[in-house]
Amino acid sequence: SEEKSLNFLEEIIEEDLKSGKYQSIVTRFPPEPNGYLHIGHAKSICLNFGLSLKYGGYTNLRFDDTNPTTEETEYVESIKEDVKWLGFQWKHELYASDYFEKLYGFAVKLIEKGLAYVDDLSAEEIASLKGTPTEGGKDSPFRNRSIEENLQLFNDMRAGKYKDGEKVLRAKIDMQNPNMHMRDPIMYRIKHAHHHRTGDNWCIYPMYDFAHGQSDSIENITHSLCTLEFIPHRELYDWFIENLEIFPSHQYEFARGNISYTVMSKRKLLQLVQERHVESWDDPRMPTISALRRRGYTPEAIRDFCDRIGIAKRENLIDVGLLEFCVREHLNKIALRRMVVFDPLKIVITNYEEKMGEVEMLKGEDNPEDPNSDSREIPFSKELFIEREDFMENPPKKYFRLFPGSMVRLKYAYIIRCDEVIKDESGNVIELRCTYFPESKSGSDTSGINVKGTLHWVSATNNITAEVRLYDRLFKVENPAAEEGDFKSYINPDSLQVVQTVYAEPALKNAAINERYQFLRKGYFTLDNKDTYHRLVFNRTVTLKDAWAK
Ligand code: ATP
Ligand code: MG
Ligand code: MG
């Protein structure tokens, strides 16, 4: 059997297992709870959980909640829901904030080793002494405080003796290091702010660089995976671990997943919500996991997408068409087929006799792709609706739909011929009079008539109504974040089209939130999980690539 070639992380892990460096691996997914997860996070989730499933070991869900001002419990809950929905189970649910005491201890240890100091300079002064990548920096006048003084001052910082910004704790490394991150980076800053978990216990908070690697180490993470922008942080990650003499987690970097026609940074997504460009974080036009779920995407499709894009060491923009392809592939296999007319044109079958109290029920397979699928019954009647766009009075050549004198098949039903066009006073077509051929019934057609077009339809007297929401791309340009000016000026004003009333076959009365539907020739749809209560609201997940019988 042909094996898929290994990606660079799998190669590293296989080597580490072969050499006996590790017996099994431990990874983590470390979201900051400052927004909802998006499709880029799904890539990181699939990668981290996928590797521990493949190689044995486990994955932790760790909330990287060291910044009290941007984080909220609402986000924590949504993140857990999304990871579970994607199909993954974490071993431990952990919070970097649970390590605050330990991290404080680590800082004290570095002070005691003469490797950290309290600095009184302001943020601006620190920045101005940092130098440039080509020019060395300058030492802070507070760099050579004694260990005792540093211990006392750091203790006072924690005790709340100082205001925000008055002091910081810095690592004492090297102000000449070519890597700017090694020029005495800040480890702690003072922030008198309420934290979503630790409340008012702390007024000093660790910086990302002094929390992330140490948290990895506390959890015995073997392979700590992050995105490319953290490459220059790796040297510092290693420096802290080495000097603290703690478990040697290692950081590896891979390229972010970026998708065309959307934005992915949580800060930008938050702006779209706050400024009401979209309705909410789970507005089906958003690239968030909750929005994709609401729109009808399946976890299988998202995992397949992440698998196909793989991992790279260079940033690129992935065509949103690939994501749509993946969901189409899956929905084609699982979606129940149903007929829904969006813009009805009435047809009357003049030679069809309805018997009192009797309805002719036709059989329609639920899913021709699934041999185990059921079928449903569809009522036929003398008066039917077809799609207005499936009729043309003066069609061009090779038009296989309905026009005066032409014949088409009604899906699951009969062949009909259009005999007469009825118009109102202003000349609008309001009705078609047709003949049907009783011996042409689908499944038992002995008519010998050949037609090229097949149309979907619903009974005009036996149907249910619903609302449908059709979505287009949220942005007009491929990469809005890379365009000049405000990314919001590239929003597509036509990204949502609502059709208030469509006519559906009665089987859709029992539609369920978790079910997926293919509305024949219209696309894949799912019930909206928020707005469906007194009426049915369907979201279009994606269009069909090939509409049959066009
Ligand atoms: P954003 O810029 O969207 O706020 P972030 O990296 O700040 O993203 P985190 O909550 O810190 O968001 O991300 C959690 C994990 O997911 C991190 O390991 C991060 O590297 C990864 N991640 C975030 N965005 C992407 C992406 N677009 N592609 C792949 N991985 C990502
Ligand atoms: Mg982050
Ligand atoms: Mg962020």
Atom of ligand 1 nearest to the CA of 258: 27
Q: How far apart are CA 265 and CA 37, in angstroms?
A: 10
- Looking at residue 73, its pLDDT comes to 86
- Flag whether 106 is in a domain: yes
CATH number, domain of 87, equals 3.40.50.620
At residue 459, the pLDDT reads 98
The pLDDT, as a whole number, for residue 352 is 97
Residue 264 in contact with ligand 1 by CB distance below 6 A: yes
Note whether residue 62 is domain-resident: yes
Q: Are 512 and 485 in contact (CB under 8 A)?
A: no
Domain that holds residue 188: 8-254
CA 402, CA 397: separation in Å to the nearest integer?
Answer: 12
Q: Is residue 192 in a domain? A: yes
Q: Is residue 95 part of a domain?
A: yes
The active-site residue out of 28, 62, 167, 266 is 266
Asked if residue 38 belongs to a known ligand binding site, the reply is yes
Closest ligand, as measured to the CA of 29: 1
50 domain-assigned: yes
Find residue 378's DSSP bridge partners: 362
CB 230 within 8 A of CB 256: no
Query: Considering only CA atoms, which residue is closest to atom 10 of ligand 1?
Result: 31
Please give the pLDDT value at position 1. 46
Assess whether 452 carries a catalytic annotation.
no
- What is the predicted pLDDT for the residue at 313? 87
How far apart (Å, rounded) are the C-alpha atoms in residues 316 and 260? 10
Whole-angstrom distance, CA of residue 97 vs CA of residue 79: 17
List per-residue pLDDT tens for the chain, 550 residues long: 456 789 999 999 999 999 999 999 999 999 999 999 999 999 999 999 999 999 999 999 999 999 988 878 889 999 999 999 999 999 999 999 999 999 999 999 999 999 999 999 999 999 999 999 999 999 999 999 999 999 999 999 999 999 999 999 999 999 999 999 999 999 999 999 999 999 999 999 999 999 999 999 999 999 999 999 999 999 999 999 999 999 999 999 999 999 999 999 999 999 999 999 999 999 999 999 999 999 999 999 999 999 999 888 888 899 999 999 999 999 999 999 999 999 999 999 999 999 888 999 999 999 999 989 999 999 999 999 999 999 999 999 999 999 999 999 999 999 999 999 999 999 999 999 999 999 999 999 999 999 999 999 999 999 999 999 999 999 999 999 999 999 999 999 999 999 999 999 999 999 999 999 999 999 999 999 998 878 999 999 999 984 443 3
Question: Using a 6 Å cutoff on CB, does residue 32 contact ligand 1?
Answer: yes
Distance between CA atoms of 539 and 338, rounded to whole angstroms?
14
Residue nearest to atom 27 of ligand 1 (CA): 40
Asked about 266 being catalytic, the answer comes back as: yes
Tokens 């090779």 belong to residue: 398
Q: Give pLDDT tens digits for 240-281.
A: 999 999 999 999 999 999 999 999 999 999 999 999 999 999
Is 191 considered catalytic here?
Answer: no
Task: Answer whether 338 contacts ligand 1 (Cβ < 6 A).
Answer: no
What integer pLDDT is reported at residue 315 of this predicted model? 87
Q: Which residues contact 165 (CB under 8 A, 6 or more apart)?
A: 122, 123, 189, 190
Q: How far is the CA of 71 from the centre of ligand 1 (A)?
A: 15
Whether residue 215 is contained in a domain is answered as yes
pTM of model > 0.90 = yes
Mutate which of 37, 41, 311 for ligand 1? The one with the most ligand atoms within 8 Å of its CB, which is 41
The rounded Å distance from CA 244 to ligand 3 centre is 27
Query: Residue 380 domain-assigned?
Result: no
Which residues neighbour ligand 2 (ion) by CB within 5 Å?
32
Output the pLDDT for position 547. Answer: 40
- Domain total for the chain? 1
CA of 309 to the centre of ligand 2 (A): 21
CA 32 to ligand 3 center in whole angstroms: 7
In a domain, 297, yes or no: no
